[in-house]
Amino acid sequence: MNGRFLKKKYSLTQKLTISGLAMALYLIVMYFTQNFAFGQYQIRIATSIYALSAIFPFLILPMGLSNMLSNILMGGLGLPDMIGGFFVGILTSYAVYLIRKYRLNDWFISIPIILFPGLIVPIWLSVLLKIPYHILAISVTVGQIIPGIVGVLLVKQLKNKL
């Protein structure tokens, strides 16, 4: 990522505006993809938005909140899914930020987007859905491949525009 991009400072108002827009985008994408974003087979295109933490590190907490809000409004699996989604969103976004911080190749951004939801979310989904962990881990991880790739492409396009 270019040096200008890494040194850009944002005012509190800009951070709040970008955070609000990112959260709204996450919820809108979730709303329109909810028929295949919840349950045993998940393709959560909205999780590609976690990649924005590579550009805007202040989005780490808002991405966790976005996941929690989507689980509250659309998930229907209760408190474990709400709280778990919150922490997975933060953890994934933070890992994306670390990839940027250590100037790793952009394609590494896909790894936490694929593996963190894919391997952590099934911990509570297996209990809630009464499906073995390993089956859920495989299906959720495979479903996260597309969002992982989309996230990298999103960062590659945006970092050249900012």
To the nearest whole percent, how much of the chain has pLDDT over 90? 86
Residue range 108-144, pLDDT digits in tens: 999 999 999 999 999 999 999 999 999 999 999 999 9
Binned at pLDDT 50, 70 and 90, residue 36 comes out as confident
Tell me which DSSP letter residue 37 carries. Answer: T
Quickly count: other Cβ atoms within 10 Å of residue 9's Cβ.
6
- The whole-model pTM stands at 0.92
CA distances from 15 to 48, 51, 62, 151 (A): 19, 16, 10, 20
Greater pLDDT, 41 or 81: 81
Binned at pLDDT 50, 70 and 90, residue 42 comes out as confident
Residue 112 has a pLDDT of 98
Residue 129 has a pLDDT of 92
Position 150 pLDDT exceeds 60: yes
